[in-house]
Chains A and B, each alone.
Chain A
């Protein structure tokens, strides 16, 4: 049932003395002399919450991989584990999950000893919708969304991330925010935390 709310019509005194105007004016006057609550964007930036979906990156192998999934996938895909480089096991699940699969360009590299490592991993972020489906699909917690959100660039070429850039973003992320509690903004203190400059240079 629709609940109808009727506004009480103004009585004659309120009409003559503009009481409703005065109420509104006092509210705005009070607000006008309070502290401003904005951040000066290019000079101060807020830290996005951890689940923010920014640029994508590759986490690197550092001993915190999800087990036993990682070992199983390494065995199945015959991957050579190289600590300090991308966790990717070339399963292509991310590409299958993506609504725009052609933005991925993934090719493994065959090593002489019969094993494989990830060789080419290009993502054309011009086409990406930042939906995060690829992140959910990745079985080894490799692909992830970082908090880098200033994605403007001077040429379209700059929007294509290659493996090196992705790993760079991943290392930076793991250093800065991996250990952080995984929750959305919940209190003012967290909301107002400023963002220090990340030290990845993708371009």
Chain B
């Protein structure tokens, strides 16, 4: 009962802030709404008992990723922030069918997942050995290959970023001629 009320509060908050992300034109407000949406989703995770996922949501999305928008945010001059002509209207219309497709796919995956574990085995499992351990053991047993591939992709991304961000000393040297 109590849980339900908190869940409704958080999800309403999430929906409202997502609407805010879409409807506001000032980029700074958009980033703030995004932050608010991410935090409310973390709240939903906490209500559902997935504390690890909630905390990771807070750390990775609300801080580590959204913080990079901060640099955008601090570089936005006031006059630009008030303009409204920077919206990708046509692109938005084109993207709409794909979004619907994505939602349908998510729905299918979700229902499949629910059907796969009908007897709440997972829940018992979590209650027995706690949150972080469950995630760890699942990651390193059932989804091991996927996990390793993802980490390899991330490593490649990191090396690529370092390579791109490397200072090309030659370019500046030959500049004087």
Chain A–chain B contact at Cβ < 8 A: no
Interfacial residues, chain A to chain B (CB-CB below 8 A): none
